[in-house]
Amino acid sequence: MGDENIRERKQSSILGQDEVSVTTKKSKSMNLQKEVGLISGICVIVGTVIGSGIFISPKSVLLNVGAVGPCLTIWAACGVLATLGALCFAELGTMITKSGGEYPYLMEAFGPIPAYLFSWTSLIVIKPSSFAIICLSFAEYASAPFYPGCAPPTVVIKCLAAAAIVTITLVNSLSVKLASYVQNFFTAAKMIIVLIIIISGIVLLAQGNTQNFVNSFEGPPLTVGAISLAFYNGLWAYDGWNQLNYITEELKNPYRNLPLSIIIGIPLVTVCYVLINVSYFTVMTSTELLQSQAVAVTFGDRVLYPASWVVPLFVAFSTIGAANGTCFTAGRLVYVAGREGHMLKLLSYISVKRLTPAPAIIFYGTIAIIYIIPGDINTLINYFSFAVWIFYGITVLGLIVMRFTRKNLERPIRVPLFIPVIVTLVSIVLVLAPIITAPELPYLYCVLFILSGLIFYTLFIHFKFSWAQKISEPITMHLQMLLEVVPPEDGTE
């Protein structure tokens, strides 16, 4: 009798363990996992920020200030501003430990409408079109060696860019760890070309190639508008400094790793950017740099010949790494918007096997491929980029507001109040500067597009029309079975 009781207890224990195991697996499958450490966090920042911009378009800053000295100063100042902005986001990210970047912060500070407008603008235009542009840049550099002496066919570029988007989307849908490994690899690869350019520049300086730095601050008179536009173009190259806040829920020990990744990653990018520009000026005058279509390629042709082919190769690595980092983080914004009910509920579902927000990532990649079709959307991106700083400014303003309205929230990191004030004021200048100095209708179109999100918010979020739900429910159920995804548990925040 005693033996039977013992056997029953053992069986109950085993059953209990099995139930716990099943529950654990179920719980794990329905939540994003904390798999991004400090090194991966730094690589996400460095890998996302350093893309194609610093290699092919530094002339935009020089064009506005007209001299070497102010140009280098602007690049350094942009790094300082990006660091200050990222520190503000570090406080927000450790105070509100939700993925999705600005979205949950705007939700907490100002309510659902500003948060929805941010997600609407970012998900439909800003982020997927940026993803497309980065992949188009990759396609141009990757195909250039196969078409010496002429531009690659447009069809080849678009197909290669689409293939890059599909590949990156699949990688990020399959595994968080795989995406992190890919990010780490391409970040290391792009740092190789960065080091090659920087070391080459230092060697050239040591050899006495300093003639382009003589009287470096002599140039046309600077105006507030010119300086603002130079900042505007420089900060576009730094864009991505806030990307780690999109994956806060997947950071190991975010209270430590989020600020450390920012403090290490962004100053590292700043030093690299300044030194790369110094290297450019060791072999090119201001006029030559402005005439170059691809500054890094011109530098490679003059300094690295006959090994100049490494430049387009590693620029391709750089762009594909930036695209991977963008997809990795932006997919989480779609996921959080879906979880909050501001997008299709399916977009908040998590893959049972892969533990990734696969529907959100696939949605993001699909929109990006659509932007590949028209091809040249650089002008569109330039006009919509000022919308990013509208939301940066509003988000940091939310940090200031919550200092007074949400005093009870725990703040593991607390930046001095003057930092968010500076960032907010600079954001206002950056938004107004291009409108005041060169007013054009596309800026008005951009504002109207942002406000048009209110129509969709009113119809589908506020009133929740039943016919929309009836249409979306069978689609959601079918895709749920096809993709093997489940909704996240309550309290995934």
Assess whether pLDDT exceeds 90 at residue 417.
Answer: yes
Assess whether pLDDT exceeds 90 at residue 165.
Answer: yes
| pLDDT reported for residue 48 | 73
More confident residue, 415 or 383: 415
Measured in degrees and rounded to the nearest 5, phi and psi for residue 485 equal -125, 160
Total domains in the chain come to 1
pLDDT, tens digit, 9 for 90 and up, residues 280-320 = 999 998 888 888 767 887 888 888 878 778 888 888 888 88
pLDDT, tens digit, 9 for 90 and up, residues 43-96 = 778 877 887 778 766 888 898 888 899 999 999 999 999 999 989 988 898 888
CB 51 within 8 A of CB 256: no
| pLDDT reported for residue 102 | 83
Top mean pLDDT of 230-244, 265-279, 324-338, 377-391 is at 265-279
Residue 399 lies in a domain: yes
Residue 350 lies in a domain: yes
Beta pairing, strands 350-351 & 485-486: antiparallel
| pLDDT reported for residue 320 | 84
pTM (2 d.p.): 0.76
Q: Which residues does residue 485 pair with via DSSP β-bridges, in sequence order?
A: 351
Closest CA to 104 of 95, 94, 115: 115
CB 322 within 8 A of CB 307: no
Cis peptide before 306 (omega within 30 of 0): yes
Q: Which residues does residue 251 pair with via DSSP β-bridges, in sequence order?
A: 36
| pLDDT reported for residue 363 | 83
CB 446 within 8 A of CB 419: no
Q: What is the CATH number of the domain that holds 482?
A: 1.20.1740.10
Domain region containing 132:
34-486
Counting residues of the chain whose pLDDT is more than 70, the rounded percentage is 76
Residue 211 lies in a domain: yes
Q: Return the H-helix or E-strand segment holding 48.
A: helix 38-49
CB 48 within 8 A of CB 322: yes
Residue 1 lies in a domain: no
How many residues belong to the chain?
493
CA angle 410, 412, 418 (to 5 degrees): 95
More confident residue, 445 or 335: 445
- Which of 170-174, 296-300, 385-389, 459-463 shows the lowest per-residue confidence on average (mean pLDDT)? 459-463
More confident residue, 447 or 476: 447
Assess whether pLDDT exceeds 60 at residue 468.
Answer: no
Residue 26 lies in a domain: no
| pLDDT reported for residue 1 | 47
Residue 20 lies in a domain: no
Q: Which residues does residue 350 pair with via DSSP β-bridges, in sequence order?
A: 486
Closest CA to 229 of 82, 388, 62: 62
pLDDT, tens digit, 9 for 90 and up, residues 109-129 = 998 889 888 888 887 877 787
| pLDDT reported for residue 221 | 84
Residue 10 lies in a domain: no
pLDDT, tens digit, 9 for 90 and up, residues 253-269 = 777 888 888 888 899 99
| pLDDT reported for residue 46 | 81
Residue 123 lies in a domain: yes
Q: Return the H-helix or E-strand segment holding 486.
A: strand 485-486
CA angle 251, 256, 259 (to 5 degrees): 90
